[in-house]
Amino acid sequence: MKSKLLVATLFGVGLSFGCVSEQHDVTLTANLKETGPLLHKDIYGQFAEHLGRGIYEGIYVGPDSDIPNTKGFRNDVLNALKAIKVPLVRWPGGCFADEYHWRDGIGKQSERPVKVNTHWGGVEETNAVGTHEIFDFIELLGADAYINGNLGSGSVQEMAEWVEYMTSDKNSTLANERRKNGREEPWDIAYFGIGNESWGCGGNMSPEYYTDLYKQYATFIKTPPGKKPKLVGSGGHTEDTQWTDVLSANIQQNMDGISYHFYTLPNSDWQKKGHATEFDNDDWFATLERTYRMNDYLKANIAKLDKNDPEGKIGLYVDEWGTWYDPEPGREPGFLYQQNTLRDAVVTAVNFNLFNQYADRVHMTNIAQMVNVLQAMVLTDGADMLVTPTYHVFGMYKVFQNATAIPFTIDSGAYQQGDKQLPAVTASLALGTDGHVYLALVNLDPENDASIELNLSNGNFSKLTGELLTHDAITAKNTFSQKEVVKPAAFSASLNDLTLPAKSVLVGRLQ
């Protein structure tokens, strides 16, 4: 029998669910001449923290390494990340940002102080990768920089001087110090964060106290004309909306966006989060149910912004998101290394579709993290490396960077377990910068296919051509002995006979 329909729209109309069938019948309706918000390229940003093997070994091995590198950065990792068009890199943290003092990371590497990374494993931090090195990396990628300043243990003067060091084109002492250290021209900073997780590792503050500090620190961030970055306030997490509310109500200038953090834990339990690669269909549902809470959390925070900022000047920046599982046995727990399966790929696509859905406020996000940490794009083992299922989804969705959303409605069957229900299929639809119309579909259901009917007006298309990512096993992963177990396959189908396999991600161009 056919399932009843789930109804949703790109702009957040409520959901209604029916019974489950063996095949989901899905109808997507759109007028291709209508346009929605810009899907900012920075929605597809990434996060590189000084954590575990994320920076050292992961992206940086030093210029004297036997591993082929450019300016100390691994060529294999650079080439992999360039292929998916990473638009934005957030650095140096994370929790690490509020114990990072920028002067420790400039000058001769051999003379830089060795510190202890108190947040992540208590390991030595050599400061070999500092300001100059990370901008080398970002420029090699062709990406933009999101720099996170130290509010928690730093000072107003320290933060202001760092910004001057990076951006000044004058003959000031700080600008000349930058030149002496090898960089003549100032760098461009796209975003600058004033603290991180100030409710927790960044200082255990109240939003009211942080608001006053923010206004003080932001006052002294000064750059040459046209060089000022978008300033980011440290916001809330999970279901907490008070940070978004207090900041947007009380900071009337010098704030372009408020950060927001949410991690997907299968068990919603920080003490027993769940295994990265050993799980069943129940765990799969629990993971997808947790990640889809992002929908409600985004709506709740955006409601606060709409109340306090009706003109829409302030963005919501989801600058930490992704899956977080239990530490891998035998590894340092503080390094947060975990494997990455087809489940993580589906989680990624579900979140991308949500970010695109709320793109009028969600202008930037950063997955945690790029290499060897949490939901990584790339894993390394000495000179060896592999790309993960999540990496492939980023590559498939790169066509949505700076695309223009096309509003749509989608009627989809329910994917449910017990009394909990999710949409079986979610989507993104947009006009790409190349003039083509792109459609992304993700089937959350690990067992049932979906029959897709497209009702598209003001367009003459007959087929969908692109890439499909799926696998027979929900636990499928890429390993150093089998690197291509999960990878996209070419896809082409008539719009009159379009079927989306179970547990799959599809991105294609309408033709």
HSE toward the beta carbon, residue 306, CA cutoff 13 A: 10
431 has which bridge partners? 404, 437
Q: Which single residue is written with the structure tokens 């499928």?
A: 476
Would you call 320 a catalytic residue per the annotation? yes
Would you call 197 a catalytic residue per the annotation? yes
DSSP for 9-29, please give it: ETT----------SSEEEEEE
Q: Annotated catalytic residue: which of 320, 328, 467, 484?
A: 320
Give the CA distances from residue 67 to residues 60, 382, 385, in Å, rounded to whole numbers and listed in that order. 10, 8, 11
Which of these, 508, 399, 510, lies nearest to 463 by C-alpha position?
510
Label residue 151 exposed, middle or buried (CB < 10 Å: 0-12, 13-18, 19+). Answer: buried
Q: Annotated catalytic residue: which of 197, 311, 332, 467?
A: 197
Residue type, 58: G
Sorted by sequence, the CB contacts under 8 Å of residue 186 that are 6+ apart come out as 166, 167, 168, 169, 175, 178, 224, 227
Residue type, 255: M
Which of these, 229, 236, 195, lies nearest to 215 by C-alpha position?
195
226: left (phi over 0), alpha (psi -120 to 50) or beta: left
Is residue 146 within 8 Å of 89, Cβ to Cβ?
yes
* Residues tagged active-site: 197, 320
